[in-house]
Amino acid sequence: MERLWAPWRIKYIKMEKPKGCIFCEKVKEERDEENLILHRGKNAFIIMNAFPYNNGHLMVAPYRHVPTLEDLNDNEILEVFKLVNFSLKILRETMKPDGFNIGVNIGKVAGAGIEEHVHVHVVPRWNGDTNFMPVIANTKVISEGLNETYKNLKAAITKYQTR
Q: Is-catalytic flag, 119? A: yes
Relative orientation angle of helices 74-95 and 146-161, to the nearest 10 degrees: 110
Q: What are phi and psi of 42, to 5 degrees?
A: -75, -40
For residues 123 and 101, the answer to whether their CB atoms sit within 8 Å is: yes
Helix (H, G, I), strand (E, B) or coil at 103: strand
Biggest distance spanned by C-alpha atoms of the chain: 47
Helices (H), the chain: 10-14, 22-29, 32-35, 74-95, 133-137, 146-161
> Which residue among the candidates 39, 57, 119, 121 is catalytic per the annotation?
119
Please enumerate in sequence order all residues whose Cβ is within 8 A of that of 87, keeping only pairs 6 or more positions apart, or say none.
Answer: 46, 58, 60, 122
Q: Which residues are catalytic?
A: 119
